[in-house]
Structure 1
Amino acid sequence: MIRIISLTDAGERLGKRLANEIEGSELWHKPKPFTEKVQSAFTDGDRLILICATGIAVRTLASVLKDKYTDPAVLVLDEQGQFVIPLISGHEGGANDWGKDIANLLSGQLVSTTAKAYLKPVYTVGMGCERGCPSDHLADLLDDCLIKVGLSLDDIHSISSIDIKSDEVGLIGLAKQIGKPFQTFDVPQLETVEEQLSMRSEYVFGVVGVYGVAESAALYASEQVTGEKAELMLVKQKTAKATCSISRSYRV
């Protein structure tokens, strides 16, 4: 869910415009109690567009920030919509790319402080699953993950997994269905990104030899495409049958 929050009459006008243009969004004008409502939306994982001063946004969210891997994206806009600031989760949460889209929508200016804002991002998906997992189940999981970071299938470079899944019919079928390459990597290759994992599963390690299939495959695939260090844009998301993660690196 996307929450658009305004505090002034001019901000409300801009908020209504955005709510009409952005699917899955809802405008809150002067929500009360303000801090509690905004913090609750944030901790529930809602993406936020705050039409207010940056200082208000920072003070409101400071106490509920956790880490760049799990915090949802937050944008701050002036009430005229001239400037769009990716405030929280620029890389991992997709605020930088989302901010660019909103700036284009409003014919405004993206104000990004990231050092890599001018580089072209490459997004790769890592997936793991139980044997025989249907491609439809994997497709639903992937769609959910893309929505969480504001990406579409067109943004994705490839689907990757561990080599023991090289013959996994569901993964092969998913890649064919969305028209993306499917590739797998062996344990020594995936071990090279071990330090970058957001979490480690001893159970998974005992079964396949790495601490996480989805995150490892996503990270390693990104680095193979660009030759640059990758970062997790979306940490492992899990269903009863599969896992999915999204990584990003930049073409220099």
Structure 2
Amino acid sequence: MNVLLVKDDCGRSRKTCHMPTHTAIIALTKGGKQLAQRLKTLVPGSEIIPNKGKIHQTFAQAWQDHDSLICIMATGIVVRSIAPLLQDKTVDPALVVCDEQGRFAVSLLSGHLGGGNALAQKVADVLGGQAVITTASDVLGHTALDLWCRDMGLAVTDKQGLTRVMAKLVNTGSVTLYSEYPLPPLPQDIIPSRTLDAADLLVTSRIRQKENIVLLHPKALVAGIGCNRNTPAKEISEALDHACRTHQLARESVRNLASIDLKSDEPGLLAFAHAQNLPLDFYSPDQLNQVEGVAASAAVLRATGAKAVAEPAAILSSGGGPLLVQKMKFPNVTVAIAEILQPFPTLF
């Protein structure tokens, strides 16, 4: 994973993480290998994985190293080879099975979240074949809720609950949703609910105990972080988790971290952000000092030139949102959390 430091339009520094994606093409027969060579030139980011030993070993290695697999061989071989590797649709790679004539591209695994359906359609398009897609929502023309949640940036902690709601959508044709945030236009089969009790889905950054309602957590929180030099990543993580639990906020709703630019090289902070795939916004003391209504600290001012760090950094990074958590002090960490009032601005 690469970590990049970039400047945004507001002049703040932001560290972001980028993960490369790759597609493995595995073929067994002479004809299959010829088709593999052709696909390699047609599918960007793909590479041919030679089968030098047992096919089970080839699959095991490709499974670890690639986000998606194109297998040019009999479906039965694929099924028997991947059976010991299967974990969950949220982590398993997308897998497409193709015959060596390129007539059919079967989306076998991780069709929605992993992109298997899209990859099958891509393979079929470039080869002039037919994509075979069997997921019920696609066949019936309904919204794929897991894919919709992913595209909206909504975290789902109750996977079984979402599966239940997806089944309701397929069986009845619609589900209801209540949101604590403004939403863009919804798909026709996701019906806005005026009351929480009538909803199947709830978009919230809070932790709620509501029976038969699946919580969808948007990226609607910013955690402002102040810390002493050489504070371990674990200590920062525990402080943020404690702050979220104390105020009944979903840790999954934290969009990014924010701090003073003096911490742009802080090892523990960078390691924590890297491990959690959380962008980091950094602000200068002058920028932080322009934020009104925050709790000032004489000690922080002497050490950094800013009257405060965690609260103003969170507010600035959230776009001026309200503080849901005023600064909480831990032995080496200070945490404050601000809310992003419109977490879906690019979708309007």
Same fold by TM (over 0.5)?
A: yes
After TM superposition, the structure 1 = structure 2 runs for residues 31-70 of structure 1, keeping only pairs within 5 Å, are 31-70=52-91
CA distance in 1, matches of 2:77, 2:217: 33
Unaligned runs of 5+ in 2: 1-21, 156-179, 182-202, 219-239, 256-274, 281-348
Q: Is the 8 A contact 1:3 1:41 kept in 2?
A: yes
In the superposition, the TM-score normalised over structure 1's length comes to 0.55
Q: Is the alpha carbon distance of 1:41 and 1:214 closer, same or farther for their aligned partners in structure 2, counting shifts above 3 Å?
A: farther
Q: Is the 8 A contact 2:205 2:253 kept in 1?
A: no
Aligned pair count?
166
Q: Secondary structure at the match of 2:49?
A: strand
Moved more, 85-94 or 27-36: 27-36
Q: Is the alpha carbon distance of 1:69 and 1:190 closer, same or farther for their aligned partners in structure 2, counting shifts above 3 Å?
A: farther
CA distance in 1, matches of 2:51, 2:126: 24
Is 1:77 the counterpart of 2:98? The answer is yes
Q: Is the 8 A contact 1:47 1:74 kept in 2?
A: yes
Q: CA deviation at 1:94?
A: 1.4
Q: CA deviation at 1:31?
A: 3.3
Residue of structure 2 equivalent to 1:212: 252
Q: CA deviation at 1:238?
A: 3.3
State which structure, 1 or 2, has the greater radius of gyration over its C-alpha atoms. Answer: 2
CA distance in 2, matches of 1:84, 1:19: 15
Q: Which has the higher helix share?
A: 1
Q: Is the alpha carbon distance of 1:13 and 1:202 closer, same or farther for their aligned partners in structure 2, counting shifts above 3 Å?
A: same
CA distance in 2, matches of 1:32, 1:15: 18
CA distance in 1, matches of 2:96, 2:217: 26
In the superposition, the TM-score normalised over structure 2's length comes to 0.41
Q: CA deviation at 1:196?
A: 9.4
Q: What is the root-mean-square deviation in Å for CA atoms of aligned residues?
A: 3.6
Residue of structure 2 equivalent to 1:187: 206
Per-residue CA distance 1:181-237 (angstroms, 9 max, x = gap): xxx95638997533899xxx965444562252179xxxxxxxxxxxxxxxxxxxxx9
CA distance in 1, matches of 2:248, 2:138: 36
Unaligned runs of 5+ in 1: 129-161, 164-183, 216-236, 243-252
Q: Secondary structure at the match of 1:212?
A: helix
Q: CA deviation at 1:34?
A: 2.3
Q: CA deviation at 1:75?
A: 0.5
Q: Is the 8 A contact 1:3 1:47 kept in 2?
A: yes
Is 1:241 the counterpart of 2:279? The answer is yes
Q: Is the 8 A contact 1:126 1:213 kept in 2?
A: no
Q: CA deviation at 1:2?
A: 0.8
Q: Quick one: which of 42, 47, 53 aligns to 1:26? A: 47
